Amino acid sequence: MVAATNDLSSRLAFDSAGLGGLKQAAKAGSPDALKAAATQFEAMFINMMMKSMRDATPQDGALDSQQTKTFTAMLDQQTSQNLAKRGMGLADVLVRQLSSQAANAQALAIGAEPGAATQSGMPAPLSAEAMMSTPGALAARASASVPSASSGLSSGISASGRVQAPHVRSFQDKVGADAEAASKATGIPAKFMIGQAALESGWGKREIKNADGSSSHNLFGIKAGPGWTGKVATAVTTEYVNGVPQTRVEKFRAYESYADSFKDYANLLANNPRYEKVLASAGDATKFAQGLQKAGYATDPLYAAKLGKIIANSLG
């Protein structure tokens, strides 16, 4: 059984025949088979994280094509398999859960009190077959029990059960409270605004800086027009004229905090007549993104598509 298990774990990532073999081996109850099945599931979990990270990154460059995307997906799958072999902690959690379940079943068979072998604080265990059949559901259950320090990776689960990339969770945690406050003022879902802030600032990695290098806290790329009396930050930006990108130096509003940035954004949408239809379609991510583009919020012809993708794939 050990030899067969090692052979399965060395196959290409997510080989359907290999997965079938792992499911059958897991049913046999062998500790080695159980470990291999848990490791394969961990590879799936890591790949889900990597896919979320890819989805959150614009992939419409001049060198991008369907072929490059296919190759990247294959590379991510194999990388996930390699990382899972090293281990990030999830496989160990699953092994403990399933081993506990087997111990309880044995206890029932001999008339002992069930639950003695169950670890405190662990979710109710699933069967090995369920683990290999429902990776998305178990990912949500197990992620809370995975010690992030084991690999330096952290992850979150969105409201719909989607695995979130670490940078997505970090950004959402940083601005979530401010987005909720702005949501109450505008009726726009907080995740829509977080998605737009992420698009404008590159998930906080490309924030507009003040002259001294400090953050302007401008997450929405709002420019400093003639009517702005607050602080100003100057930055290089790309504007599209008739669909052609042009590099310009523009003045942007600067704030004391991210909360002020969200407040100003909420005020802009709530009090500017051209965004009236945007507020009216705040219940639909696609219509919201398209409304912003039609209202002239940004000149990028792909702005609505990019924003809709971030909201749906990273925050949905």
Residue 201, CB-side half-sphere exposure with 13 Å CA sphere: 27
Q: Is 239 designated active site?
A: yes
**Given 7, 129, 173, 239, the catalytic residue:** 239
Cα–Cα distance for residue pair 128/9, rounded to 1 Å: 16
pLDDT tens-digit map of 100-144:
655 554 544 445 444 444 444 444 445 555 555 555 555 544 444
Q: Is residue 31 very low, low, confident or very high in pLDDT (cuts 50, 70, 90)?
A: low
300 classed as catalytic: no
Number of CB atoms found within 10 A of residue 68's CB: 12
CATH number of 168-315: 1.10.530.10
Instruction: Check 42, 200, 207, 264 and give the catalytic one.
Output: 264
Summarised one tens digit per residue, pLDDT across range 56-73 is: 565 665 566 677 777 777
Average pLDDT in the 76-97 region? 70
pLDDT at 43 over 50: yes
pLDDT in tens, 176-195: 999 999 999 888 999 999 99
Give Cβ neighbours of residue 66 (< 8 Å, ≥ 6 apart): none
As a whole number of Å, the end-to-end CA separation of the chain is 42
Which residue stretches of 31-165 are H helix?
A: 31-55, 66-86, 90-109, 128-133, 135-143
CA distance 119 to 66: 46
Provide mean pLDDT across the span 147-160: 45
pLDDT score, position 282: 82
Closest CA to 88 of 51, 42, 125: 42
Residue 199 has pLDDT above 70, yes or no: yes
Look at residues 248, 271, 205 and name the one whose alpha carbon lies nearest to residue 58.
205
Domain ranges of the chain: 2-150, 168-315
